Amino acid sequence: MTALEDRLRNELSELAALAQPESIRPLRDSAPRRRSVRARFLAPVAAMAAVAAVAIASAVIASKLPHPGAPVPSAPEMVHTNTVPRFYVLAEQSFVDGGRTMVTKAAVHSSATGDTLSQATLPTLLSNGGYYSPSITAAANDRTFVVMETNLTSSNSIVWLFRLQLSASGRSIKVTRLPVHVPSTMAIDNVALSPDGSRLAMTTQWDCGQSRCQDAGIRVVNLATGAVTTWSTHANGAPFNGSWVGANAVAFEWQPNTGRGTGYRVLPLSKAPADLLTASQPIASPRAVSTGYVPAALVTPDGKNVITSEVVPFTHLFVVHGATARIVELNARTGRLERVLYTASANGQSDMLVQSCNVLSLGPDGQHPLVDCFSKLGALVNGQIVSMPGFPSASSSGISGQQAIAW
Amino acid sequence: MDRSGEPDDLAPLTSALRRGEGRADAGVSVAELFRAHHLELVRLALVMVGDVATAEDVVQDCFERLHRRWNVIREPGRALAYARSSVLNGCRSVHRRSAISRRYGPKLAQAADASVPDAASAMADRGQLAAALRQLPRRQREVLVLRYYADLSVAEIVETLGISAGSVRAYMSRGLAALAAVIGEEK
């Protein structure tokens, strides 16, 4: 064992020893359903937000997250709904039948009013003790979405993919399980649907069949034919956070094993499959805010800009005491700052703070980032985060590991 | 001890369990798991999230989930592995939930006796590696904690996280390299 491993073991043991049998809190009554102390405090706020989330008349989307005693932010400028995606989809895992049955529901909401226009219950993989969480990605035509369900068991992973095809009004939804085979030894970080909805890009890792050997790459699946094209690499690292750049390129975050040199790259799909790193080119990347962690970034459909967040923590003796965040638009080629889209700050002693401001989705035209930043989930409109009408739902105080949202 | 002979701190949970008809087996099993592993799970959550109160919340949620889902767990013998998975999963959710709570920090601080510094935060002052660990990507963090705190073997980590042995080794290697980089930077 190395000195580093020894030190890590010792520090973790010291930290864990702070929880002693006589000092830790006993379990509390579990009915009604209890949340964390802070989340419980926020539950009424979330409920109010769900009820009061302002749904704007037919032509506008603008709302705010009310909080008793908090200053009411000024309303963002009105935005005509024809400039924002008409629908957003919320996929949510929940229990029914007294907790005996787990279901995943996908609901189509009007972006303007929050109304649930249609919903579907997806076939659900049994948890069997593994992780289980849905993830979702949206096509750029505003009418097609893909939901990925993953069940990781002790020996393998099972992935199901569903395509949700909306009618023009959004009031009917056709669900199709995609015939995409994912090997059980393959782990998928995320999937991204091409702008025309015909192809799916996956950032993946898989065992290469030998001890201490792990391959990684981008798989692009033609959803009409099932044909798979893979750009893989043996290099020590893996791609994450894939997204489409126009119709013929995929952007991804490359994370090397060393934690150094993390950055975004663009893979042109017109090139023949080759080594992932050879075939792709680096682009402007968000600044790493901590070891090995780079905020999510999405490239606009024209490939010219990168929308990402920059979080700067305030630390003292390695402890985070707060942070400021900016959501920015960078020039993809030069990395130059083009625009600051949003700024926020937060206080709190948590290392997680630096990972709490992210761009989730850009919308079909790349102009309407859906973001989750320091407690606020919503659309970025004129420098403010506008709550999504209809979200948070009454059952949640924010997006959770059992929820996924996209537009 | 209450009249049923259960430890006092189990009474609230077990009373809730009794309210669920036809779930006596779940109650008994979850209670056994609680007796044997509650502290261990709180400590696991603590090294993941860095503060005791949040760790307690995560484990509370874990036991509630265990109770509700007992009937769909196919292999009750693997309940501890499931519980560890559940705790790690809960720590992931904390990441998002905590962002919400921070927005209302001042009010919460008054309500939660924030005048007393969290011992874990104080610990973090001298626990440079432990603090750096919490900034690693999720999988690397989980694998390192299970290996170097929980002392699990690669096979046990495979069972807990549901990823391949190759992935475990890869995450472990990357995580250690990243921590080494931190030490290198600070020297």
The pLDDT, as a whole number, for residue A134 is: 65
Residue of B nearest to A403 (CA): B93
In whole numbers, what is the pLDDT of chain A averaged over residues? 72
pLDDT at residue B101 greater than cutoff 80: no
Q: Closest Cα of chain A to B113: distance in Å? A: 12
Of the candidates A219, A218, A93, A87, the residue with the CA atom closest to the CA atom of residue A148: A93
- Whether residue B118 and residue A349 make contact (CB cut-off 8 A), yes or no, is yes
pLDDT at residue A180 greater than cutoff 80: yes
Among the partner residues A19, A153, A352, nearest to B98 by beta-carbon distance: A352
R_g of chain A, CA atoms, integer Å: 22
Among the partner residues B39, B49, B182, nearest to A291 by beta-carbon distance: B182
Q: A73-110, pLDDT tens digit by residue?
A: 343 433 444 567 888 888 877 666 655 566 788 899 88
Of the candidates A406, A342, A402, the residue with the CA atom closest to the CA atom of residue A374: A342
What average pLDDT does range A20-48 have in this prediction?
Answer: 41
| CB < 8 Å to B8, chain A | 26
The pLDDT, as a whole number, for residue A98 is: 58
Cβ atoms of residues A166 and A106 within 8 Å: no
- Whether residue B52 and residue A7 make contact (CB cut-off 8 A), yes or no, is no
- How far is B55 from B49, CA to CA, in rounded Å? 7
Q: Closest Cα of chain B to A196: distance in Å? A: 31
What average pLDDT does range A114-129 have in this prediction?
Answer: 75
- Whether residue B100 and residue A398 make contact (CB cut-off 8 A), yes or no, is yes
Q: Which two tokens mark A268? A: 């042109």
Burial label, A278 (beta-carbon count in 10 A; 0-12, 13-18, 19+): exposed
pLDDT at residue A33 greater than cutoff 50: no
Name the band, by pLDDT with cuts 50, 70 and 90, for residue A243: confident
The pLDDT, as a whole number, for residue A102 is: 66
B window 78-97, beta carbon within 8 A of A: 78, 81-82, 85, 89, 92-97
| CB < 8 Å to A45, chain B | 104
Q: B142-166, pLDDT tens digit by residue?
A: 899 999 988 888 888 887 887 788 8
pLDDT at residue A5 greater than cutoff 60: yes
- How far is B89 from A55, CA to CA, in rounded Å? 33
The pLDDT, as a whole number, for residue A16 is: 85
Cβ atoms of residues A171 and A156 within 8 Å: no
- Whether residue B162 and residue A260 make contact (CB cut-off 8 A), yes or no, is no
Among the partner residues A7, A11, A185, nearest to B164 by beta-carbon distance: A185
Which pTM does this prediction carry?
0.56
- In terms of average pLDDT, the best of A66-75, A122-131, A394-403 is A122-131
pLDDT at residue A55 greater than cutoff 60: no
| CB < 8 Å to A211, chain B | 166
When comparing pLDDT for A77 and A311, which is higher? Answer: A311
Fold that domain B127-187 belongs to in CATH: Arc Repressor Mutant, subunit A (1.10.10)
Q: A347-374, pLDDT tens digit by residue?
A: 876 556 666 788 888 877 777 888 888 8
Q: Closest Cα of chain B to A338: distance in Å? A: 27
- Whether residue B148 and residue A9 make contact (CB cut-off 8 A), yes or no, is yes
Among the partner residues B12, B34, B46, nearest to A16 by beta-carbon distance: B46
In this prediction the ipTM stands at 0.70
- Whether residue A398 and residue B56 make contact (CB cut-off 8 A), yes or no, is no
The pLDDT, as a whole number, for residue A113 is: 84
The pLDDT, as a whole number, for residue A141 is: 76
Among the partner residues A27, A37, A348, nearest to B12 by beta-carbon distance: A27
When comparing pLDDT for A34 and B84, which is higher? Answer: B84
- How far is A332 from A217, CA to CA, in rounded Å? 22
What average pLDDT does range A176-190 have in this prediction?
Answer: 81
Count helices and strands in chain B by DSSP H and E runs:
10, 0
The pLDDT, as a whole number, for residue A386 is: 81
* SS3 track for chain A: CCHHHHHHHHHHHHHHCCCCCCCCCCCCCCCCCCCCHHHHHHHHHHHHHHHHCCCCCCCECCCCCCCCCCCCCCCCCCCEHHHCCCEEEEEEEEEECCCCEEEEEEEEEECCCCCEEEEEEECCCCCCCCCEEEEEEECCCCCEEEEEEEEECCCCEEEEEEEEEECCCCCCEEEEECCCCCCCCEEEEEEEECCCCCEEEEEEEEECCCCCCEEEEEEEEECCCCCEEEEEECCCEEEEEEEECCCCEEEEEEEECCCCCCEEEEEECCCCCCCHHHHCEECCCCCCCECCECCCEEECCCCCEEEEEEEEEEEECCEEEEEEEEEEEEECCCCCEEEEEEEEEEECCCHHHHHCEEEEECCCCCCCCEEEECCEEEEEECCEEEECCCCCCCCCCCCCCCEEEEC
Q: Closest Cα of chain A to B180: distance in Å? A: 7
Of the candidates A402, A385, A314, the residue with the CA atom closest to the CA atom of residue A62: A385
What average pLDDT does range B13-35 have in this prediction?
Answer: 51
Question: With pLDDT > 90 as the criterion, what percentage of chain A qualifies?
Answer: 13
Q: Is B62 on the interface with A (CB under 8 A)?
A: no
Domain layout of chain B by residue ranges: 1-116, 127-187
pLDDT at residue A171 greater than cutoff 70: yes
Among the partner residues B47, B95, B121, nearest to A12 by beta-carbon distance: B47
| CB < 8 Å to B134, chain A | 351-352
When comparing pLDDT for A120 and B135, which is higher? Answer: A120
- How far is A271 from A279, CA to CA, in rounded Å? 7
pLDDT at residue A123 greater than cutoff 80: no
Supply the angle between the helices B165-186 and A3-16 in degrees, to the nearest 10.
Answer: 90
Candidate from A64-68, A164-168, B18-22, B97-101 with smallest mean pLDDT: A64-68
Name the band, by pLDDT with cuts 50, 70 and 90, for residue B3: very low
Q: B57-71, pLDDT tens digit by residue?
A: 788 777 776 766 665
Give Cα separations from A133 to A92, A103, A190, A232, B92 (angstroms): 9, 11, 12, 26, 11
**CA angle at A268 for the pair A267 and A271, rounded to the nearest 5°:** 115
What average pLDDT does range A225-250 have in this prediction?
Answer: 87
- How far is A11 from B47, CA to CA, in rounded Å? 9
What average pLDDT does range A15-30 have in this prediction?
Answer: 70
pLDDT at residue A57 greater than cutoff 70: no
- How far is B85 from A330, CA to CA, in rounded Å? 38
Name the band, by pLDDT with cuts 50, 70 and 90, for residue A126: low
Residue of A nearest to B64 (CA): A30
Among the partner residues A4, A36, A355, nearest to B180 by beta-carbon distance: A4
- How far is A165 from A213, CA to CA, in rounded Å? 39
pLDDT at residue A115 greater than cutoff 80: yes
pLDDT at residue B96 greater than cutoff 70: no
Q: A192-220, pLDDT tens digit by residue?
A: 888 888 999 998 887 666 655 568 899 99
Cβ atoms of residues B129 and A7 within 8 Å: yes
The pLDDT, as a whole number, for residue A212 is: 53
Q: Closest Cα of chain A to B49: distance in Å? A: 8
| CB < 8 Å to B152, chain A | none
When comparing pLDDT for A237 and A146, which is higher? Answer: A146
- Whether residue A12 and residue B73 make contact (CB cut-off 8 A), yes or no, is no
